[in-house]
Structure formats: structure tokens, C-alpha cells
Amino acid sequence: MIIVTGAAGFVGSNLVLALNRRGHTDIIAVDDLKDGTKFRNLVEAEIADYRDKDQFLQQLTEGTLGPIEAIFHNGACSDTTEWDGRYMMTVNYEYSKNLLEYCLTHKIPFIYASSAAVYGGGKVFKEERQYEAPLNLYGYSKFLFDQYVRRRMQVGLKSQVVGFRYFNVYGPREQHKGKMASTAFHFNNEVLATGNCKLFEASGGYKDGEQRRDFIHVDDVCAVNLWAWEHPKVSAIFNLGTGKSQTFNEVANAVIKFHGKGRIEYIAFPENLKGRYQSFTEADMSALRAAGCGHRFMTVEQGVQKYMEWLNKK
């Protein structure tokens, strides 16, 4: 069987569906459905069973689940504005350590989600310690687990471990994330409601709406996760973006082009984000390319068009 944690979430649900398209249905979906609305993300999926995250960890420890082919670990608190350190470290750090150690002991491939948030406000996004300085608690929890994985790698691994530092992921099945959903999602709603896409004014040395991020479609994220599983000799922590940053203006214009209406409205930069906001991200993809991954990523224009078609059909 295959385990997908965070399976009712954004990346997790899309990964379950990507596995289905490859013919895999013997999947245990693991999540915390305190937010019950997330069930909608799994309605189209074929799974063998569902487990609450705590129940799953208990059964894993007791050894009552049976043989496991791989664990894709996407479960996490991804709210960058969450400052409850005890909660964040329990969910994102301790839980991840438990899964990793189980996989290493039982020689099970472990492919997990890290985040570009580990880089903080830096200008170099390369998988090396000197470039890592998270600005928020979420980023720190991901950074700390990456460091734990690095220490385990230094003493040698007997099974595959791959971490992916997701950059700005957007696409289907993110609606439950609310304020943490992608700008493409919010721009779509804004154009339909008011006709205006709201972008931040100049900040961080960038002009109005010209702040840049590495935006990556969730289908590309899933494809690279599956590529890793298909290459069991690959173990490393990799960036997972497109390798090319684009502006928020470009995202907004792609949404406006799809609808054939709308305009951009610039709003004041929020006080609570000053010093905690990444004005620029761009994944250095050289390590993933050197490992043999030749996947071609969608541009913002291609990915947003595909996403808008899905959103507005729904």
C-alpha cells in the first residue's frame, strides 16, 4: 500500500489523483479532518482507506498496517501566520521525525514536503545551509526538519529519503486554505466579485505588483514527486519550483486575460507583513536537474490558464 499524508489537503489530494492516473488505488489517505470541508478534495479519488493522522501514527508504531510501498508526507500546518510554537513543532517537526524514523527502520521510501520558506528573505535559493534563514515559524519548522534529515543522511541511509522545497504552488483543490490559498485563486474570486485584482503596492525594492515569486502548478509538483519514487537511488533535499520567477502582475494579467475583463488595483503593503515577507523567490533547480529530472514546467501563463479552466468549470 501507499501512504499519502495530508491527503485531503491541496498537494496531497492532487498527489492521490496523480497516483490513481498511474493505476494505484491501494492508498491509505491520512489527514486531520477537523475542517470537514476538505473531504471534497477526495471525492474523485480512489483510495483503499482513510486514517486520522493520530490514529495512523499509532497503528504505524504498533505495526498493524501491513506492508507499505512508500510514504508521501504532505501533512503539515502550512499557515505562515501561525505563531503557536508548541502546535507547529508537534505537527510539522515531531510528527515528521516519527514517520522518517519508521521508514528508515523498515526501508520504506520517504518523500516529503519541505518549503521555500526556509530561505526567508534571501536572494539565493540553493539547497545549502548558508542561504537558509526563515522569517516565520512555519519556515523554521520546515528548516529544522530538513536539518534533521541532513544529519541522518550524513551517517548513511538504507532507504530513499527525498525532501522537496515547494515554492509558490497553485492549482485545483486549494479552496479550503482560505487566506493561504494562492494569489491565482484569490484573483479569480476578486475578478468575479468586483472586477479588480488586488495587489500590493511597491515594497522590498520592487514596484507596484512587481514582487516576484517562483509560481509552480500543482500538477508539476505531483509529477516530480512521482519521478522521485520511480528513481529509488535518488536521496536528497531538492528545490521544487520552475526555476523562473514571475511577477504578481503577470499572475493577475493571466487571470484577467482568461475572463476577458478586470483590472489591477494596488493596495497598501500590510504592516504585519513587514520584515516577514518574501518579495522574491526563484528556485535554483540545478540539483534536481543534475539528479536526472528532466520534467518541463508550465509557465504562469500556461498554468493559470489551465487552473482557471478547472476553477470556472467547477
As annotated, the active-site residues are 138, 177
Residue 147 vs residues 73, 230, 237, 245: alpha-carbon distances, Å: 17, 25, 10, 26
Which amino acid is located at 104 in the chain? L
> Number of C-alpha atoms within 13 angstroms, CB side, residue 254?
22
The C-alpha angle with vertex 62 and arms to 25 and 19, in degrees rounded to 5, equals 15
CB 104 within 8 A of CB 161: yes
In sequence order, the β-bridge partners of residue 263 are 196
Instruction: Report how far residue 16's alpha carbon sits from residue 27's, in angstroms, rounded to the nearest whole number.
Output: 8
Residue 313 vs residues 85, 190, 306, 309: alpha-carbon distances, Å: 40, 17, 11, 6
* Local structure of 115: helix, strand or coil: strand
In sequence order, the β-bridge partners of residue 169 are 216
In sequence order, the β-bridge partners of residue 212 are 247, 280
